[in-house]
Amino acid sequence: MKFILEVKGVKKAYRMGNVSVPALRGVSFSVEEGEFVAILGPSGSGKSTLLHVIGGLDRPDEGTVFIDGEDIFTLSSNQLADVRLHKIGFVFQFFNLLPRLSALKNVELPLTLADVNEKETTEKAKKLLALVGLGERMHHRPSELSGGEQQRVAIARALINDPKIILADEPTGNLDTKTGWEIVELMKNLNAKKEQTFIIVTHDPSIAEEADRIIYVKDGIVEGIKERVNKK
Amino acid sequence: MRLKQTLEMALENLKRRRFRTSLTTLGVVIGITAIIALSSIGEGFRLAVKTNMEQGFELDVLTVIPGSIIGGYSYQKFTDQNVTSIRSIQNVTTVTPIMQITGASLKNGDKKSAALVVAAVNFTDFWRIFRNRLAFQEGGLPSSPKNDTIIIGHKVNTVNQTGTFAEVGDQVNVTFTVRSVPPFTKTLTFNVTGILAESGSSILTSFDYWVFIPLTTGRDIYQTEESDVIFAQVNNPEISDKVTDAIEALFPPFRITIIVPITFIRQVDHILNLIQIFLTSIAAISLLVAGIGIMNIMTVSVMERTREIGIMKAIGAKERTIMTMFLAETILIGLAGGLIGVPTGYGVAQILTMILSRFMLNQGGNNGVLSNPERQPSTTVNPVFSLEWTVGALVFGILICVIFGWYPARKAAKLDPVQALRYE
Ligand SMILES: Nc1ncnc2c1ncn2[C@@H]1O[C@H](COP(=O)(O)OP(=O)(O)O)[C@@H](O)[C@H]1O
Ligand SMILES: [Mg+2]
């Protein structure tokens, strides 16, 4: 089986004045194409930092990341932006939609950045909004949508460029339990349907249990990996 | 990102800060208005001065006079041979020599008058050259001038403010002083065939104070074959320099001076041009101030939108894209400022020149000399619409916006996405 993602010896420390605070202290693991992986760990364990490095938003101090066999940190920042645009989809805890744009325009944004023509862009965005269950509310602005709805828009936006990997950082962290589970269900369905790889960061063990594999992170290192028995 | 989407997004972002955007744009509007107003008034002023000067000169007439400021005044007269040589120069159409006789007095019965200059001229050639300035109020050029033909200038014919000295058909006596040793006077009777209309002010001289008699008569009186001044008409004022060189080559160095009207006009035009550039540069400073305003506003805007910039980058926006987005906003401000500022500038110029010419009109009325209504139009300044200045101001406006928008836009483009996403 081919690895869509390989994390190799990633170290990253934050500099606070004169002291260096280690966030990642040597993380390595691999993810197969189409897997649904949860990264589980307590707050401050380095999950977000790890996700940012995987997604090419942040450069590690040591080690590197291969996406689709390509060492992404040999790339220029321009090329890295292209990796984010075409191979990665981000979903955040605080949704991170652009407040001035309608749901539709938010979803369209990655295709707009990729210079895809307007008609195709709009058609695809509408289709995806329907897929995540928001076909009716696509002309609303984020402020006019509930948290769950905003997160659906964010997921649609993450999916629109058909990325290989979706990275979600505590996607349920800002939602009530019921809505949170709906979002998890949505992502699981998408994973099953489209064979895209999902990596979800969470500190909620019950959500992590839904994944094919759980990667336990603590104090910036991988403490253990648990494979689910009835893995598809 | 495509141009259309970039502009749409920039417009959207400007609209959400409507008040700030308006104020910033106002700064650009004021700058462009000042540039356009000052340059168009300057251009109008230049045109007015030029027109005025052109009215004061026969642009195509070179005046050749004896002596030179550099070489010291050497008294010299011109021979008919000189006239013939000048006539053979290329691009010279008419050449006419004249005698300038001063100190003559005129008498018509009891009435007396004096002429600044009694000019002994070849009527046909002289009138061909100065046809515009030598219109007749009464009478005209005789078809075949006789030895005793005289034509009287407007002011010479005006005695005691309103009275006239002579009429067409009158016989007038002219007394000439011949400065031989010993000096003597000679009085001749002339037949008035024409009275000139007012000729308007000339830079060099006013023919209003002149009377004209045939060249042959003048030469008879003074027993000479020479003349004092030669007028040479060229077929195109722009090639005056060439003709001037050719004339100078005919004489030993520093013997003659040639008055070339077009060089006066060029000089004045040059000076006015410098003044205009100076004034417009001052106006341009106000645009610089507007630019600093843009820089300020955009820096604040980048800070406020840090998180959005982080989101854009996370989604895959390149540095170039972010930079273009912010620059597009400042360019739109510059464009809007220009599109409003240009017509406003011309409007302000119209109003200012209206006020200015009203003021000048009042001034003229007070001192009486300039109150001649026929001369008013030439002193009115009308702002001139110039495509070059318009395009120049627009381009400069946008350029300023780009220059001052560059730093904040770059700052936005260089933001660290992770930090930007954390920004509250
Ligand atoms: N920008 C930063 N500057 C300094 N320290 C940071 C920064 N980001 C994260 N950290 C530190 O790195 C560690 C890991 O943080 P993070 O990756 O956000 O953890 P998690 O997402 O698991 O809560 C924490 O100790 C945190 O305080
Ligand atoms: Mg986190």
What dihedral do alpha carbons B386, B329, B24, B40 form, nearest 10°? Answer: 0
* Residues B421, A78: C-beta atoms closer than 8 Å: no
Sheet strands side by side (includes A213-218): A88-91, A165-169, A197-202, A36-40, A213-218, A221-227
Q: Count the domains in chain A.
A: 1
Instruction: Find the length of chain A.
Output: 232
User: In the prediction, which pLDDT does B381 show?
Assistant: 81
User: In the prediction, which pLDDT does B376 show?
Assistant: 40
Judged against a pLDDT cut of 90, whether residue A29 lies above it is answered with yes
Q: Would you say residue A8 lies in a domain? A: no
Q: Nearest CA of chain A to the CA of B306: how many Å? A: 12
**DSSP character string of B49-92:** HHHHHHHHS-TTEEEEEE-BTTTB-----B-HHHHHHHHTSTTE
Q: Would you say residue A156 lies in a domain? A: yes
User: In the prediction, which pLDDT does A187 show?
Assistant: 94
- Reduced to 3 states, what is the DSSP secondary structure of residue A47? helix
> If residue B292 lies in a helix (H) or strand (E), which one and from where to where?
helix B261-304
Atom 11 (ligand 1): residue with closest C-alpha? A23
Give how far the C-alpha of residue B183 lies from the chain's centroid of Cα atoms, to the nearest Å.
47
- The ligand minimizing its distance to the Cα of A57 is 1
The tens digit of pLDDT for each residue in B231-262 reads 999 999 889 999 999 999 999 888 888 999 88
**Contact present, A158 and A37 (Cβ < 8 Å):** no
Q: Encoding tokens for residue B279?
A: 């004034």
Q: Nearest CA of chain B to the CA of A135: how many Å? A: 22
Q: Are strands B184-196 and B171-178 parallel, antiparallel or unpaired?
A: antiparallel
What is the mean predicted confidence (pLDDT) over A58-71?
A: 95
Hunting for tokens 């000189």 — which residue is that?
Answer: B82
The tens digit of pLDDT for each residue in B300-310 reads 999 999 999 99
ipTM value of the model?
Answer: 0.94
Q: What is the average pLDDT score of chain B? A: 88
Residues of chain B contacting A77 with CB distance shorter than 8 Å: 318-319
Q: Encoding tokens for residue A161?
A: 């460029």
User: In the prediction, which pLDDT does B73 show?
Assistant: 59
Judged against a pLDDT cut of 70, whether residue A43 lies above it is answered with yes
Q: Would you say residue A126 lies in a domain? A: yes
Q: Are strands B105-108 and B184-196 parallel, antiparallel or unpaired?
A: unpaired
**Contact present, A153 and A132 (Cβ < 8 Å):** yes
Q: Would you say residue A5 lies in a domain? A: no
User: CA-to-CA distance for B420 and B424, rounded, in angstroms?
Assistant: 9
What CATH number has the domain bearing residue A144? Answer: 3.40.50.300
B13, B308, B317: residue with CB nearest A81: B317
Q: What is the average pLDDT score of chain A? A: 93
Lowest-confidence segment of A142-156, B134-148, B198-212 by average pLDDT: B198-212
Domain housing A136? 36-46+76-227
User: In the prediction, which pLDDT does B410 show?
Assistant: 96
Atom 6 (ligand 1): residue with closest C-alpha? A14
* Separation of first and last alpha carbons in chain A: 14
Q: Would you say residue A147 lies in a domain? A: yes
Q: Would you say residue A14 lies in a domain? A: no
> If residue A82 lies in a helix (H) or strand (E), which one and from where to where?
helix A77-86
The tens digit of pLDDT for each residue in A88-133 reads 999 999 999 999 899 999 999 999 999 999 999 999 999 999 999 9
User: CA-to-CA distance for B375 and B364, rounded, in angstroms?
Assistant: 10
Peptide bond into B182 cis (omega under 30): yes
Q: Encoding tokens for residue A1?
A: 């089986």
* Residues A161, B13: C-beta atoms closer than 8 Å: no
What is the mean predicted confidence (pLDDT) over A52-67?
A: 96
Judged against a pLDDT cut of 60, whether residue B363 lies above it is answered with no
Query: Is the CB–ligand 1 distance for residue A21 below 6 Å?
Result: yes
User: CA-to-CA distance for B422 and B310, rounded, in angstroms?
Assistant: 8
Please name every residue paired with B108 in a beta bridge, in sequence order, or none if there are none: B111
A52, A58, A82: residue with CB nearest B316: A82
User: In the prediction, which pLDDT does B71 show?
Assistant: 59
Domain ranges of chain B: 3-57+265-422, 98-226
Residue type, B46: R
